[in-house]
Chain A
Amino acid sequence: MSEKKLMLGNEAIARGAWEAGVKVSAAYPGTPSTEISENIVKYEDVYCEWSPNEKVAMEVAIGASMAGVRSLVSMKMVGVNVASDPLYTVSYIGVSGGLVLVAADDPGMYSSQNEQDSRAVARAAHVPVLEPSDSQEAKEFTKFAFDMSEKYDTPVILRTTTRLAHSQGLVELEDRCEPIDIPYEKNIKKNVMMPANAIARHPAVVAREQQMSDDGAEFPINRIEMRDKKIGVITSGIPYQYVREALPEASVLKLGCVNPLPKQMIIDFAKKVDKLYIVEELDPIIEEQVKSWGIECTGKEILTVLGEYSTNMLKKAILGIDEKLETPAQVPVRPPILCPGCPHRSTYFTLKKLGIHAAGDIGCYTLGAVAPLSVLETTVCMGSSISTLHGMEKAKGKEYVRDWVAVIGDSTFLHTGVNSLMNMFYNQATGTVLILDNSTTGMTGHQDHAATGKTLMGEEVPAIDLYKLCHDGIGIENTYVVDAFDTKELEKLIKQETAREAVSVIIVQAPCALLKSNKPKPAYRIDPEKCKRCGMCMKPGCPAITKAEDGTISINATMCNGCGLCAGLCKFGALNQ
Chain B
Amino acid sequence: METRNIMIVGVGGQGTLLTSRILGGITIKAGYDVKLSEVHGMAQRGGSVVTFVRYGDKVNEPIVEEGQADVLIAFERLEALRYAHFLKKDGVLVVNDQRIDPMPVVIGAAKYPENIIEDLEKKYKVLKVDAMAEALKLGNPKTFNVIVLGMAARHMDFKKEDWLEVIENTVPPKTVEINKKAFEAGYALGA
- Identify the interface centre among A168, A310, A328, A338: most chain B CB within 10 Å of its CB: A168
Select which of A167, A326, A333 is within 8 A of B102 by beta carbon.
A333
* Across-interface contacts of A310 in B (CB, < 8 A): 61, 63, 65
Complex partner residue of A334 from B11, B37, B84, B85, CB under 8 angstroms: B11
Contact of A331 among B46, B67, B82, B142 (CB under 8 A): B82
* CB <8 Å contact, A170 and B46: no
**Beta-carbon contacts of A320-336 to B below 8 Å, as 1s and 0s?**
00010111110111111
Are the C-beta atoms of A335 and B102 separated by less than 8 Å? yes
CA distance A60 to B101 in the complex (A): 46
Contact A167 to B24, CB < 8 A, known contacts A329-B84, A558-B141 = no
Given A538-B106, A558-B141: A364 and B37 interface contact (C-beta under 8 Å)? no
B42 touching A336, Cβ below 8 Å: yes
Choose the segment among A86-94, A240-248, A490-498 that binds chain B (4+ C-beta atoms closer than 8 Å).
A240-248
**Contact residues of A between 367 and 400, Cβ < 8 Å to B:** 367, 370-372
Minimum CB–CB distance from B172 to chain A (whole Å) comes to 12
Q: Which residue of B lies closest to A9 (CB)?
A: B62
The interface-forming segment of B27-35, B149-157, B180-188 is B27-35
As a 0/1 sequence over residues 324 to 357 of chain A, the CB contacts with chain B under 8 angstroms (1 = contact) are 0111110111111111000000000000000000
* Distance A311 CA – B132 CA, assembled complex (angstroms): 36
B60 touches A245 (CB 8 A): yes
- Is A402 interfacial (CB-CB < 8 Å)? no
Compute how far the CA of A310 lies from the CA of B101 in the bound complex, rounded to whole angstroms. 30
Closest to A370 in B: B103
- The verdict on A110 contacting chain B, using a C-beta distance below 8 Å, is yes
Which residues of A34-65 have CB atoms within 8 Å of chain B's CB atoms? 34-35
Across the interface, do B66 and A167 meet the contact criterion of CB distance under 8 Å?
A: no
Docked pose: A333 CA to B104 CA in angstroms: 7
Residues of B near A31 (CB, < 8 A) are 40-42
Q: Residue A546 at the B interface, CB < 8 A?
A: yes
Please give the distance in Å from A360's CB to the nearest CB on chain B. Answer: 14
The minimal Cβ–Cβ distance linking A236 to chain B, given in whole angstroms, is 14
CB distance B66 to A334 under 8 Å? Answer: no
B61 touches A332 (CB 8 A): no
A444 and B11 in contact, given A323-B67, A332-B104, A337-B103 (Cβ under 8 angstroms): no
Inter-chain CA distance A134–B59, complex, in Å, is 10
Q: Among residues 95 to 137 in chain B, which have CB atoms less than 8 Å away from a CB atom of chain A?
A: 100-107, 109-113, 132
Quick one: closest B residue to A539, CB to CB? B107
Central interface residue in B35, B62, B109, B111, by most chain A CB within 10 Å: B62
Q: Are A111 and B43 in contact (CB under 8 A)?
A: yes
A8, B62: Cα distance in complex, Å:
11
Please give, as numbers and ranges, the residues of chain B lying within 8 Å of A168 by CB-CB distance. 24, 34-38, 62
Q: Give the contacting residue for A312; candidates B37, B66, B107; CB below 8 A.
A: B66
Q: How far is the CB of A308 from chain B (nearest CB, A)?
A: 8
Contacting residue for A332 out of B11, B62, B105, B132, CB 8 A: B105
Give chain B nearest CB distance to A322 CB in angstroms: 12
Chain B residues 148-188 with CB under 8 Å of chain A are: none
Which residue in B25, B40, B79, B82 is a CB contact (below 8 Å) of A111? Answer: B40
Please state if B60 and A166 are interface contacts (CB–CB under 8 Å): no
Which residue of A is nearest B27, CB measured? Answer: A6
The answer to whether A110 and B39 touch across the interface, beta carbons within 8 angstroms, is yes
Kindly name the residue among A167, A328, A334, A445 whose own CB sees the greatest number of chain B CB atoms within 10 A. Answer: A334
Picked from B13, B61, B66, B109, the residue with its CB within 8 Å of the CB of A241 is: B61
Docked pose: A338 CA to B59 CA in angstroms: 36
Residues of A within 8 A of B63 (CB): 163, 310
How many Å from the CB of B187 to the closest CB on chain A? 23
Given contacts A311-B61, A323-B67, A336-B47, contact A541 B106 (CB under 8 A): yes
Contacts of A370 in B (CB 8 A): 103
A334→B85 CA distance, assembly (Å): 17
Q: Are B78 and A332 in contact, CB atoms less than 8 angstroms apart? A: yes
For residue B25, which residues in chain A have a CB less than 8 angstroms away from its CB? 6
Give, as a whole number of angstroms, the nearest-CB distance from B109 to chain A: 7
Closest A-chain residue to B112, C-beta based? A332
A443 interface residue, CB < 8 Å from B?
A: yes
B103:A312 contact, CB within 8 angstroms: no
A453 at interface by CB-CB < 8 Å: no
Complex contact B101–A543 (CB within 8 A): yes
When each residue 3-41 of chain B gets 1 if its CB lies under 8 Å from chain A and 0 otherwise, what string results?
A: 000000001110000000000110010000111111111
Residue of B47, B81, B100 touching A335 (CB-CB under 8 A): B47
Return chain A residues, CB-CB under 8 Å to B84. Answer: 326, 329
Whether A334 lies near B45 (C-beta < 8 A) is no
A32 at the interface (CB under 8 A from B): yes
Q: How far is the CA of A370 from the CA of B107 in the complex (A)?
A: 11
Contact A169 B45 (CB under 8 A): no
Q: Is the CB of B24 within 8 A of A6?
A: yes
- A538–B37 Cα distance when bound, in Å, is 35
Verify B67–A325 contact, CB threshold 8 A. Answer: yes
A541 touches B107 (CB 8 A): yes
Residues of chain A contacted by B34 (CB below 8 angstroms)? 6, 168-170
Q: Of A6, A111, A371, A545, which contacts B42 at CB under 8 A?
A: A111
The answer on a CB contact under 8 Å between B85 and A167 is: no
Please indicate the chain B residues that have their CB under 8 angstroms from the CB of A238 in the complex: 61-62
What residue of chain B has the Cβ atom nearest to residue A308's Cβ? B63
**Complex partner residue of A110 from B43, B45, B109, B110, CB under 8 angstroms:** B43
Cα of A547 to Cα of B107 in the assembled complex, Å: 10
**How distant is B130 from chain A, measured CB to nearest CB, in Å?**
14
Q: Are B48 and A311 in contact (CB under 8 A)?
A: no
* Interface hub of A34, A111, A364 (most chain B Cβ within 10 A): A111
Nearest B residue to A5 by beta-carbon distance?
B28
Contact A329 B107 (CB under 8 A): no
**Distance of A229 from chain B, by nearest CB (Å):** 21
- Shortest distance between the CB of B141 and any CB in chain A (Å): 5
Interface centre among B11, B105, B106 (most CB of A within 10 A): B106
- Residues of A close to B61: CB separation below 8 A: 238, 241-242, 244-245, 310-311
* 30 chain-A/chain-B pairs, Cβ below 8 angstroms: A34-B40, A111-B40, A111-B41, A163-B63, A166-B39, A167-B35, A168-B24, A168-B37, A169-B59, A169-B62, A241-B62, A310-B61, A310-B63, A325-B85, A326-B67, A327-B85, A328-B85, A329-B81, A331-B82, A333-B48, A335-B47, A336-B43, A337-B47, A339-B46, A364-B42, A371-B109, A372-B106, A372-B107, A541-B103, A541-B107
* Chain B residues engaging chain A, CB cutoff 8 angstroms: 11-13, 24-25, 28, 33-48, 59-63, 65-67, 78-79, 81-82, 84-85, 100-107, 109-113, 132, 141-142
Extra A-B contacts (18), CB below 8 Å, given A328-B82, A445-B44:
A111-B41, A111-B43, A166-B38, A168-B38, A170-B28, A170-B34, A238-B62, A245-B60, A245-B61, A329-B84, A331-B81, A333-B104, A334-B11, A338-B45, A371-B109, A372-B106, A541-B106, A541-B107
